Structure 1
Amino acid sequence: MKKTLFFLLSLLVFTCCVSIKHKHEHHKKHTHYPLYSNIPAHKIIFPSTTPDRIIVNLTEDPAHSFAVNWRTSQQIDTAYVEIAEETHGPDFLSEGKVRRIIAKTKGLETENIDDDEPLVKAAFHSVIIKNLEPEKTYVYRLGDGRKNDDGWSEWFQIKTPNIDKNAPYSFIYFGDAQIKVKSEWSRVIRKSYQMIPEVDFMYHAGDLINHSESDKEWGEWFYAGSFIHATVPSIMTPGNHEYHNKKLSRLWTHQFTLPENGPLDELKEACYALDYQNMKLISLDARSFELHEYSKKAQTKWLDSVLASNTQKWVTLTIHYPILPTIEGRGNTDLSEALKPIIDKYNVDLVLQGHNHSYARGHASNNALGKTVVNNVETIYAISVSGPKMAGSSNLDWMVKEGKHTQLFQIISVSNDTLKYNAYTTKGSLYDSFTLIKGKGGNKKLLNNKVEEIIEKNK
């Protein structure tokens, strides 16, 4: 009897220990996120084992490579990209056609206390896919390596640029998205894609979100772009809202893979340059420029050197803070005094900006003339806003077109020596339009194109 009782007690203790062990392992392997399932934005904030926040970025060699980034829970410590040339059917999955590449994985824990957001533990994965052929469409997917489709994303399609530098291409330029990104900015990026689904890349001029450490806001930004982020490459310039405590958000460098050829280590993926067909694309970090004298000097010297060695036909510079003001007396004097002489020296074609939450486009010597045709025009400056946060502006002499209280996106199309710029509203109405024609010696003719009449209501 005693032996039986001892056996039963031993069995009970063993069962309890196993149960506790399994319970411990369960909590160890699984996230704490179900505890927060009452949070309305639960699915946007927290990662899972399925890839999310997928985005493709341009590299320094877009014709032969692209970068892809995504997020999962920290349960996934090893992740992969699979890529193949696109076929008319599922035969791209035939043996030997799919290439698998292991990703770089970095864990990150964030807790946005300022906005009362919970602790988020995520794994961020990135790959630069190389050895691609120009002007070819590929399919790729992301996952944890299992044999079935569980744990993998869908297959995405992406096309590399043309080997002919002067072949036509296009990109979309967005000013600040910043607030109400899921509810009100989403229609802007989706309308732009609807109007030009064959667009080659997208260019964001800073303040993608409002609070740099907010996982909810970043989640909304990725949600708004959805599969577009995974099929159309992006590049982005940081704004002041990507900074926290005078430092660029860690989420910026974890979520994106951008060129690292800037003048300082701390400016990697923020200040950089790359060539896309016949255009030199340059990003400057305005917030760092403003905060640190050494950064101002480094970026100024670097910009001069990049432009001095440039061999591309077109040059587009993106910086979040405007070089020319939209309201009298509220310009960025330090920025303008340091950068405008260099921009003038090399006759940069376009300077794309944000920050002021209004619209303006023109050139420094316009003097309110408003001519339809301008010969030997210098740099064209544009300021735009894509999100719903609006501000006032003044119709200053340098502006050919000025506007406010309108969400906009700009489609810029380039073909050899012709660049066409069209700004559209969220309804698809043409708001501003011009054409640049570049002749021999670099002289440019500006044609201000006729646009639709848009009634603006000042709030």
Structure 2
Amino acid sequence: MKQLQSNNEYKTPFYVGLLILVSLCFSPVVVAQNTLVPPGEVRYAPTAFPDRIILTATVDPAHNQTVSWRTRDSVNQAYAQISPATDTPALHLTSKQIEGNTVALKAGNGTAHHHNVTFTDLEPDTLYAYRVRGDGTWSEWFQFRTAKAGFEPHTAIYFGDAQNAVKAHFSRVIREAFSTAPRAQVMVHAGDLVNSSRDANHDDEWGEWFDAGSFINSMLVNFAAAGNHEYLSQESGPRLLVPQWPVHLTSPKNGPAALRSTVYYMDYQGVRYIALDSQQALQDDDMMAAQVSWLRQVLSNNPNSWTVVTYHHPMFSVSLGRDNPKLREHWQPVFDEFNVDLVLQGHDHTYGRGENVPSGASGQLNSTGPMYVVSVSGPKMYMIGESAPEIMDRLAEDTQLFQVIHFESDRIVYEARTATGELYDAFDIERLADNSKRLVDRRPDTPTRLCSNPEERTGSSCWGGNSHIELEHSH
């Protein structure tokens, strides 16, 4: 390079242009995309080793537990082993082998066999160890604790949309949540776990979602609602559920016949968790009616102390330019009638928390109305709508969050924390002697967080969906 710089003949316009061209050819070009997988690379192909191991909801988690996982297509039968967890490594000597179901699925990373096993006849409040089989190998041993048979306090973690750049950005949120509440038993996901990008490998997105949660998914019960990005657009007709959803997130199948994969409930230590499918409800009147009818049955025969409903599209939107009046017409009266306690939602890529009952006063819970929350755990961020301050008691833009919810016999203790663990919102719902409810607002005295990205901020967007991963490729 020294000779090149000191030799005058290389300073002619021809050679200067040549140097610029060479420099451009070998300079990194920034490419924005939705996963960390570079174009042409295969990162999430199924192998002999079990992966995407996840615990999902069952009707009776005190006595049953379902686990799902994936292998390459040479594994034709699902086997798992389970044993009471002890302090000895001899778990294989006390374990029982259980046979389950296998389904083939051809996706962007090739054909995989997806397996699930339901462990039955378990003892309540008991720590179990389990492992699942691959091709000539096993997974590591994982541990989970069955629910207690009656009401006992427990903790759940709730996430809004992960959706975009999931491994790059959702990973630290779910791991911070686990660090904050390591003894939580349930994780609630309010839809849009992935983005289902139109021109991308959807299976890479699922691979990243499982990478982000890693062993946490294998130890805590995942209770997930489907969002609009779990549905794929067609040239004509309604959106269709992505094929990964029913094989990864096996449901107890106690919902309406046409919606068994996405509408269901679970009773966990005195809390009834209910998942609804707002995407189907908003695109199909028959699916809306089916869910209303089913919801009335599930709520009218509910012996639990608390009721939590989760779905994707908010009852009262927080973000600019969004509204879902059909949900208020059909679902809100049912929630009020049966005194639902918490409604956990996503979709708006902002944070909002409020009572949202028109007759109620700010800071007071109507005795027949739930508390509504909208949250976001991934990096895609929208702007707060103009009417949101009128209906929400706490708001935020441009903030990745997780929520820790503790259920006691006479109160729900709720905290929303940022990706760095900072407390951003908090409240208690107290049940009084006359069975009415009272709100204790414990939000910290900190300013409302607003969009900090003036360069990209356009219209309703603070951070776009694919602006968070920049991979360098050389020509």
TM-score, with structure 2 as normaliser: 0.82
- Describe the shift of the 1:137–1:442 C-alpha distance in structure 2 as closer, same or farther (beyond 3 A): same
Q: CA deviation at 1:260?
A: 0.7
Are 1:330 and 2:322 an aligned pair? Answer: yes
- Describe the shift of the 1:457–1:109 C-alpha distance in structure 2 as closer, same or farther (beyond 3 A): same
Matches within 5 A, 1:293-442: 293-327=285-319, 330-365=322-357, 370-371=362-363, 376=367, 378-394=369-385, 395-442=388-435
Q: In structure 1, give the amino acid aligned to 2:181.
A: I
- Describe the shift of the 1:78–1:377 C-alpha distance in structure 2 as closer, same or farther (beyond 3 A): closer
- Describe the shift of the 1:172–1:38 C-alpha distance in structure 2 as closer, same or farther (beyond 3 A): closer
The secondary structure found in structure 2 opposite 1:386 is coil
**Which residue is 1:27 aligned to?**
none
- Describe the shift of the 1:189–1:454 C-alpha distance in structure 2 as closer, same or farther (beyond 3 A): farther
Distance (whole Å) between structure 2 residues aligned to residue 123 and residue 383 of structure 1: 35
Counterpart pick for 1:235 among 217, 223, 226 = 223
Distance (whole Å) between structure 2 residues aligned to residue 107 and residue 131 of structure 1: 28
Verify the 8 A CA contact 1:156 1:230 in the aligned structure 2.
yes
Q: Cα deviations across residues 147-182 of structure 1 (Å, max 9, x unaligned)?
A: xxxx110000111112331x2100000000000001
- Describe the shift of the 1:407–1:414 C-alpha distance in structure 2 as closer, same or farther (beyond 3 A): same
Q: In structure 2, give the amino acid aligned to 1:155.
A: W
Moved more, 137-146 or 413-422: 137-146
Verify the 8 A CA contact 2:271 2:307 in the aligned structure 1.
yes
**Which residue is 1:107 aligned to?**
104
**Which residue is 1:217 aligned to?**
205
Q: Cα deviations across residues 312-350 of structure 1 (Å, max 9, x unaligned)?
A: 111111110001122576320111111111111111101
Counterpart pick for 2:261 among 269, 291, 305 = 269
Verify the 8 A CA contact 1:377 1:445 in the aligned structure 2.
no
Q: Cα deviations across residues 176-227 of structure 1 (Å, max 9, x unaligned)?
A: 0000001111000000001111111100000000007700000000000111
Verify the 8 A CA contact 2:162 2:193 in the aligned structure 1.
yes
Verify the 8 A CA contact 2:191 2:228 in the aligned structure 1.
yes
The secondary structure found in structure 2 opposite 1:139 is strand
Counterpart pick for 2:189 among 189, 198, 204 = 204
Matches within 5 A, 1:73-84: 73-84=72-83
Q: In structure 1, give the amino acid aligned to 2:372.
A: Y
Distance (whole Å) between structure 2 residues aligned to residue 242 and residue 374 of structure 1: 33
- Describe the shift of the 1:370–1:396 C-alpha distance in structure 2 as closer, same or farther (beyond 3 A): same
Q: Cα deviations across residues 103-147 of structure 1 (Å, max 9, x unaligned)?
A: 211111124xxxxxxx5110000011111101110100011485x
**Which residue is 1:130 aligned to?**
120
- What is the aligned residue count? 406
- Describe the shift of the 1:48–1:414 C-alpha distance in structure 2 as closer, same or farther (beyond 3 A): same
5+ unaligned residues in a row in structure 2: which ranges? Answer: 1-36, 454-475
Verify the 8 A CA contact 2:78 2:117 in the aligned structure 1.
no
Distance (whole Å) between structure 2 residues aligned to residue 184 and residue 121 of structure 1: 28
Are 1:162 and 2:148 an aligned pair? Answer: yes
- Describe the shift of the 1:217–1:382 C-alpha distance in structure 2 as closer, same or farther (beyond 3 A): same
Are 1:252 and 2:245 an aligned pair? Answer: yes
Q: In structure 2, give the amino acid aligned to 1:237.
A: A
The secondary structure found in structure 1 opposite 2:90 is helix
- Describe the shift of the 1:162–1:454 C-alpha distance in structure 2 as closer, same or farther (beyond 3 A): farther
Moved more, 359-368 or 304-313: 359-368
Moved more, 195-204 or 440-449: 440-449
Q: In structure 2, give the amino acid aligned to 1:102.
A: E
Q: CA deviation at 1:85?
A: 0.5
Distance (whole Å) between structure 2 residues aligned to residue 38 and residue 425 of structure 1: 29
Q: In structure 2, give the amino acid aligned to 1:233.
A: V
**Which residue is 1:139 aligned to?**
129
Q: Cα deviations across residues 398-431 of structure 1 (Å, max 9, x unaligned)?
A: 2111111100000000111111010000110100
The secondary structure found in structure 2 opposite 1:90 is coil
Q: CA deviation at 1:455?
A: 6.4
The secondary structure found in structure 1 opposite 2:333 is helix
5+ unaligned residues in a row in structure 1: which ranges? Answer: 1-36, 112-118
Across the aligned residues of Structure 1 and Structure 2, the Cα RMSD in angstroms comes to 2.0
The secondary structure found in structure 2 opposite 1:298 is helix
Greater relative contact order (Cα < 8 A, sep 6+): 2
Distance (whole Å) between structure 2 residues aligned to residue 99 and residue 433 of structure 1: 44
Distance (whole Å) between structure 1 residues aligned to residue 405 and residue 187 of structure 2: 10
Moved more, 212-221 or 273-282: 212-221
Distance (whole Å) between structure 2 residues aligned to residue 163 and residue 40 of structure 1: 50
Q: CA deviation at 1:269?
A: 2.1
Q: In structure 1, give the amino acid aligned to 2:381.
A: M
Verify the 8 A CA contact 1:206 1:236 in the aligned structure 2.
yes
The secondary structure found in structure 2 opposite 1:42 is coil
Distance (whole Å) between structure 2 residues aligned to residue 450 and residue 326 of structure 1: 18
Q: In structure 1, give the amino acid aligned to 2:58.
A: T
Matches within 5 A, 1:28-43: 42-43=42-43
Q: CA deviation at 1:306?
A: 1.3
Identity %: 38
**Which residue is 1:13 aligned to?**
none
- Describe the shift of the 1:434–1:251 C-alpha distance in structure 2 as closer, same or farther (beyond 3 A): same
TM-score, with structure 1 as normaliser: 0.84
Q: CA deviation at 1:452?
A: 5.3
